[in-house]
């Protein structure tokens, strides 16, 4: 008997650290805006939310009190899998990024190597990556390996070889494509990265800026999952600003349904990722 294809895990990355309200007024920067975005994106088909937060002036911050408050507020308002960014902004020090785990998210992003990031450098030296990974294992937090270039897949595999599987035993990765300095948002690059993943891993892909839609089609055609959101693109199409995060999730859910792999619920996604109902691995 033919097995049903897995549903599509849609992750929304609503805010990021690089854009401001001036770029698009729909960017959620306050806690209330973030919670409202999380709710509407859940309704539109998201199962996981990748969170960066802002301070009272709208600047990126990794303030632990705010992070804790955010995790609780999003959990209270939705059943989304709550993922905190440990990447933060390019200016965030490594020790502050390690401390993000103290806010006890279900999942955290974990970039496995340094990459040029426009005119900046997103710094992820090996000792930091190894320390962050081991802390996720100790605390039972699911890492999402964020892979900006193919060497990051090699580094992820090195982590797994040296330190063993993630807490819960399941490997989940996200290809972040089209960052100036990283791999291009092309079907060829994605296929090459997917071929390097360990057996049984799940993965999603996100295309930054104009690569958003091509990467979505490539990911669906390769059987992967999707990440969309205003962290990665502020335009819906040429010269057309995004209405809000839910609009991007709605499109992702529509394309996934057309590929006969409709959006996963958060419960489906927890099963796919080896998370328990409470989110802990
Ligand atoms: N803001 C970028 C420098 C992550 O969330 O882990 C890093 C980033 C990756 O967004
Ligand atoms: Zn991020």
From residue 231, give the alpha-carbon distance in Å to each of 102, 136, 151, 180.
23, 24, 23, 15
Per residue in 111-131, is it b (16+ CB within 10 Å) or e — as a string?
bbbbbebeeeebbbeeebbbe
Q: Which among 117, 106, 107 is positioned nearest to 18, based on CA atoms?
A: 117
Residue 44 CA to ligand 1 centre (angstroms): 24
Cβ of 133 less than 6 Å from ligand 1: no
C-alpha 225/C-alpha 266 separation (Å) is 13
How would residue 269 be classed by pLDDT, with cut points 50, 70 and 90?
A: very high
* Per-residue pLDDT, 4: 79
The secondary element (H helix, E strand) that includes residue 109 is strand 107-111
Cβ of 89 less than 6 Å from ligand 1: yes
Task: Express as a percent the part of the chain with pLDDT over 90.
Answer: 96
CA-based max dimension of the chain: 57
Cβ of 175 less than 6 Å from ligand 1: no
C-alpha 203/C-alpha 190 separation (Å) is 11
DSSP codes joined into one string, 169-209: S--EEEEEE--BTB--S-HHHHHHHHHTSPTT-EEEEEE-G
C-alpha 183/C-alpha 55 separation (Å) is 31
Task: Express as a percent the part of the chain with pLDDT over 70.
Answer: 98
* Pairing mode of beta strands 225-228, 202-207: parallel
* Per-residue pLDDT, 281: 59
Which of ligand 1's atoms lies nearest the C-alpha of 52? 5
- The answer on pLDDT for 25 being more than 80 is yes
Do the beta carbons of residue 24 and residue 234 sit within 8 Å?
A: yes
**Which of 16, 17, 128, 181 should be mutated for ligand 1, with most atoms under 8 A from CB?**
17
The neighbour count for residue 206, using CB atoms within 10 Å, is 29
H helix count then E strand count, the chain? 9, 14
State mean pLDDT over 227-235: 98
C-alpha 279/C-alpha 281 separation (Å) is 6
Which of ligand 1's atoms lies nearest the C-alpha of 110? 6
State mean pLDDT over 5-32: 97
Task: Give the CA angle between residues 179, 224, 281 to the nearest 5°.
Answer: 95
How would residue 1 be classed by pLDDT, with cut points 50, 70 and 90?
A: low
Which of helix, strand or coil describes residue 142? strand
How would residue 140 be classed by pLDDT, with cut points 50, 70 and 90?
A: very high
- The answer on pLDDT for 278 being more than 70 is no
* Per-residue pLDDT, 266: 98
Q: What is the pTM of this model?
A: 0.97
Strand partners, 108: 84, 143
Cβ of 109 less than 6 Å from ligand 1: yes
């Amino acid at each position: 008997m033919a097995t049903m294809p897995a549903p599509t895990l849609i992750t929304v990355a609503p805010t990021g650290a690089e854009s401001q309200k001036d770029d698009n007024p729909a960017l959620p920067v306050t806690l209330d805006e973030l919670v409202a975005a999380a709710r509407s994106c859940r309704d539109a088909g998201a199962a996981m939310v990748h969170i960066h937060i802002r301070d009272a002036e709208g600047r990126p911050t990794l303030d632990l009190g705010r992070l804790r408050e955010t995790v609780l507020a999003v959990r209270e308002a939705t059943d989304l899998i709550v993922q905190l960014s440990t990447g933060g902004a390019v200016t965030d020090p490594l020790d502050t990024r390690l401390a993000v785990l103290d806010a006890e998210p279900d999942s955290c992003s974990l970039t496995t190597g340094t990459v040029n990031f426009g005119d900046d450098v997103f710094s992820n030296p090996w000792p930091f990556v190894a320390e962050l990974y081991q802390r996720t294992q100790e605390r039972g937090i699911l890492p999402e390996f964020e892979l900006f270039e193919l060497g990051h897949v090699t580094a992820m595999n090195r982590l797994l070889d040296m330190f063993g599987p993630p807490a819960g035993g399941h490997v989940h990765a996200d290809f972040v494509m089209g960052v100036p300095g990283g791999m291009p948002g092309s079907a060829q690059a994605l296929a090459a990265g997917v071929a390097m993943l360990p057996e049984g891993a799940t993965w999603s892909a996100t295309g930054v800026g104009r690569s958003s839609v091509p990467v979505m089609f490539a990911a669906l055609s390769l059987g992967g999952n999707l990440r969309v959101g205003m962290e990665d693109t502020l335009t819906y199409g040429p010269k057309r600003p995004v209405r809000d995060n839910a609009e991007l999730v709605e499109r992702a859910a529509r394309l996934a349904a057309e590929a006969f792999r409709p959006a996963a619920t958060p419960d489906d996604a927890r099963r796919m990722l080896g998370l328990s109902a409470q989110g802990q691995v």
